[in-house]
Structure 1
Amino acid sequence: MKNMFWVFLFLLTASFSCEDSEIPSTDLGLIELEKEIVALSESVACTNSAEWKFTPMGSKACGGPMRYIAYHQSVEREFLDLVDRFTVQQKAFNQRNNVVSDCMLVVAPRAVSCEGGKPVFLN
């Protein structure tokens, strides 16, 4: 009898949760695009901080960027195109899925420094 109760409870819970599972928690296209952006950012070793810039990336549901990311000036055009595409797609995803966020302001770094061949933000 106890087993029947647990089976019934499981089926009841599963029937109510099916509707929620149709809303994706993330978009695979966004994940792949973000990986591509990070790979391009890391494709050049940071040896001279004067050659590095940074840009806001992504879109929080409340507005504003989700983060800042550094890039080398030699990949600037391709990099900024990818970041813009990612930001637009993330904003659309947020609106389409009624995503909520923490609404905390992400402060822009002051500059980029090189440490161990990688760009590091100075705040």
Structure 2
Amino acid sequence: MDTSKTTPGSSNSREADWAAIEALDNHAKAIAKTTGCAKDAECRSAPVGNRGCGGPRYYIAYCAATTDSVTLFRKLDEVKAAENAFNTKYNVVSTCEFRMPPAVGIVSGVCAAR
């Protein structure tokens, strides 16, 4: 079964719905390449998910030179929409703090948060 096509929120199980979000999240991580950049300025970060009170769950670092950014952001939009639907369906709440994007750069040869 291709879980990247599963619609989160379409099952009757919280665990199955979250597994569908995790599958989308893992696909986004696979799209985000961390290798291939030679300078810190080529590294970027992107928000992932949608917490109950709003804002991303975390940020993912990637190399802009080797990552298909359009494909990555399309997948991240899917993750955000799926998590928003999950949060609504299950009345998820979270702490309300603003998470700033991390500083990113080359760390041990790959793009990573600093």
TM-score (norm 1): 0.69
- The farther-off stretch of 30-39 and 47-56 is 47-56
What does residue range 97-112 of structure 1 map to in structure 2 within 5 Å? 97-109=90-102, 111-112=103-104
Q: CA deviation at 1:78?
A: 0.7
Q: Runs of 4+ in structure 1 displaced over 3 angstroms?
A: 42-47
- Residue 14 of structure 2: SS of its match in structure 1? coil
- Corresponding residue for residue 77 of structure 1: 70
Q: CA deviation at 1:44?
A: 3.3
Q: Deviations over 1:22-76 (max 9, x none)?
A: 6514522211111111122246344322222112111010111111112222411
Q: How many Å separate the matches in 2 of 1:96 and 1:37?
A: 23
CA contact (8 A) 1:52 1:71 kept: yes
Query: 1:60 and 2:48 equivalent?
Result: no
Q: How many Å separate the matches in 1 of 2:38 and 2:82?
A: 32
Unaligned runs of 5+ in 1: 1-21
Larger Rg over CA atoms: 1
How many residues matched? 100
Give identity over the alignment, percent.
28
| Structure 1 vs Structure 2 CA RMSD | 2.0
TM-score (norm 2): 0.73
Unaligned runs of 5+ in 2: 1-11
- Corresponding residue for residue 35 of structure 1: 26
